[in-house]
Amino acid sequence: EPEVTQTPSHQVTQMGQEVILRCVPISNHLYFYWYRQILGQKVEFLVSFYNNEISEKSEIFDDQFSVERPDGSNFTLKIRSTKLEDSAMYFCASSPGTGPETQYFGPGTRLLVL
Amino acid sequence: ELKVEQNPLFLSMQEGKNYTIYCNYSTTSDRLYWYRQDPGKSLESLFVLLSNGAVKQEGRLMASLDTKARLSTLHITAAVHDLSATYFCAVDRLGGADGLTFGKGTHLIIQP
């Protein structure tokens, strides 16, 4: 069964450093998303991406964040200058895009900013 | 601002019992999603409810949607230990590639 994959599974970085989180969405899906979940809290929407551009973004997704689809398979989230409060689990998701449908979530990247 | 509220947030129950988790949301939407999350794991889709009165069942779980009341329920029948997890409901606004707004989750512990 097709699934969303994410790398790395864990990342530790120093405050102020740039990190890139990578995702491979399900191959025939058209919509891609990033969410984050701070430990023990609810899942929060960051950004959605369709047709090579941002479709929607939340207040969390400020200028420190960017997304890119550098090729036909990868979807990346970049945090330019990490802060302590960026420590969270980051989930990538994708959906087919033919209507209101389930978003399929990847296993997540646990980011720890020291 | 779209708000999604779940209750209870914590629930400890015994195997064999029935219980219901409630999900209220604050804005017009006819798309409601239920996800399950095991500790340290990702979110697994359980149900997608797309219209008023929708009811879906999978094993011991049944979800329903009342768009007029802006309420969805997840009912657990004859709970078993394997259903222990955190259950999230989520709503998206009408149309487009919308992000989901999640509730805080219901942390369910089912004791033998």
Residue with tokens 């988790």: B21
Q: State whether residue B57 sits within 8 Å of chain A by CB.
A: no
Range of the domain at B87: 4-111
Each residue's pLDDT, cut to its tens digit, for chain B (112 residues) gives 788 999 999 999 999 999 999 999 987 776 899 999 998 888 999 999 988 888 999 999 999 999 889 999 999 999 999 999 999 999 986 555 578 999 999 999 999 8
Interface test with B, best of A3, A103, A112 (most B CBs within 10 A): A103
Instruction: Give the pLDDT score at A94.
Output: 94
Count the Cβ atoms, other than its own, within 10 Å of residue A10: 10
Per domain, the residue ranges of chain A are 5-113
Q: State whether residue B105 sits within 8 Å of chain A by CB.
A: yes
Q: Within a 13 Å sphere around the CA of B74, how many CA atoms are in the beta-carbon half? A: 29
Closest CA–CA distance from residue A77 to any residue of chain B (Å): 16
Count the Cβ atoms, other than its own, within 10 Å of residue A95: 21
Q: A64 is written with which tokens?
A: 């420190």
Contacts of B84 (CB under 8 A, 6+ apart): B108, B109, B110
Instruction: Give the pLDDT score at B97.
Output: 57
Task: Assign A102 to helix, strand or coil.
Answer: coil
CATH 3.30.1330.10 is the classification of domain A5-113: no
Each residue's pLDDT, cut to its tens digit, for chain A (114 residues) gives 789 999 999 999 999 999 999 999 999 899 999 999 998 888 999 999 988 899 889 999 999 999 999 887 899 999 999 999 999 999 999 998 766 678 999 999 999 999
Q: How far is A21 from B13, CA to CA, in rounded Å?
A: 38
Contacts of A63 (CB under 8 A, 6+ apart): A80
Closest CA–CA distance from residue A20 to any residue of chain B (Å): 19
- CATH number of the domain encompassing residue B69: 2.60.40.10
Flag if A55 and B92 touch (Cβ within 8 Å). Answer: no
- A102: nearest CA partner in chain B: B48
Instruction: Give the pLDDT score at A73.
Output: 87
A96: left (phi over 0), alpha (psi -120 to 50) or beta: alpha
- Pairing of the two strands B106-111 and B85-91: antiparallel
